[in-house]
């Protein structure tokens, strides 16, 4: 499977989360927003690390022919290591694992060995110090702006201190690491996150729950751009 290039680290990217799309018409949903999609964010929930269950590799595989975009798979799973290969084979370009599940160094190595772009995620109450030791080994740091498990929650502004801290660390050390935020992102909160130092914006409800998803994604990008 040829990997899709993620683009230069640090560039502004909109990553629509298909969690908020109509699962009965995913291919249509993905195509509809394609022109405003930089990465497609795939939320994987195992019913254990988070209370909810969503989708897995077969859905990634089924969607692959419908999108030429970078597939950014967010693994909200207690044991992501068991599934990295399956996601890679299904067509994932990048996989992000949560630092809270432990075994981080091994997970990063395993994902790397598979040729995946590697992300590390932290919940809103997980301190920056937990992810800091791995910053030089990953391509992406995902700082959750809601507690993972459900779409449609409210953006937690408190996390912006951590985003700024991460941005400083990345810039001071000249690291090629993207800083992604996920949860409650919309045209009001996106500029706040970009101002704090995030460059990849995940949005589910603010895109797919709108009457005109493509227009909503465009508005989100415009709002974020205004902050650059
Ligand atoms: C939360 C997921 C998010 C979610 C975002 O568990 O990781 O990606 O889909 O949804 P919104 O944008 O609706 O907050
Ligand atoms: Zn997510």
CA–CA separation, 59 vs 173, rounded Å?
38
**What is the pLDDT, as a whole number, of residue 227?**
84
| Ligand 1 atom nearest residue 203's Cα | 12
182 in active site: yes
CA–CA separation, 55 vs 23, rounded Å?
10
pLDDT single digits (tens) 94-106: 999 999 999 999 9
Ligand 1 center to residue 74 CA distance, Å? 10
pLDDT single digits (tens) 174-184: 999 999 999 99
Q: Which of 79, 125, 182, 186 is catalytic?
A: 182
123 lines ligand 1 (CB under 6 A): no
158 in active site: no
What residues have CB less than 8 Å from 151, skipping those under 6 apart? 17, 19, 20, 43, 204, 205
**What is the pLDDT, as a whole number, of residue 60?**
98
Ligand 2 center to residue 95 CA distance, Å? 11
Go through the chain and tell me how many residues it has: 228
**Backbone dihedral angles phi then psi of residue 134, each to the nearest 5 degrees:** -105, 0
**Would the pTM count as exceeding 0.75?**
yes
């Amino acid at each position: 499977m040829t990997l899709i290039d993620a683009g230069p680290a640090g560039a502004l990217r909109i990553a629509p989360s298909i969690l908020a799309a109509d699962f009965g018409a995913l291919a249509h949903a993905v195509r509809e927003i394609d022109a405003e999609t930089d990465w497609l964010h795939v939320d994987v929930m195992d019913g254990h690390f988070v209370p909810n269950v969503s989708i897995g590799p077969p859905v990634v595989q089924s969607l692959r022919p419908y999108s030429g975009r970078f597939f950014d798979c967010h693994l909200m799973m207690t044991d992501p290591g068991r599934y990295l290969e399956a996601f890679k084979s299904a067509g994932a370009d990048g996989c992000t694992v949560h630092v809270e599940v432990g075994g981080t160094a091994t997970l990063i190595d395993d994902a790397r060995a598979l040729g995946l772009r590697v992300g590390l995620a932290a919940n809103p109450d997980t301190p920056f110090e937990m992810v800091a030791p791995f910053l030089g080994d990953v391509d992406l740091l995902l700082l959750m702006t809601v507690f993972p498990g459900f779409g449609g929650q409210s953006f937690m502004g408190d996390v912006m201190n951590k985003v700024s801290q991460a941005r400083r660390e990345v810039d001071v050390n000249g690291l090629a690491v993207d800083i992604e935020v996920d949860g409650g992102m919309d045209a009001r909160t996106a500029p706040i996150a970009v101002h704090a130092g995030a460059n990849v914006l995940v949005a589910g409800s603010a895109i797919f729950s709108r009457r005109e998803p493509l227009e909503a994604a465009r508005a989100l990008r415009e709002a974020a751009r205004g902050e650059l």
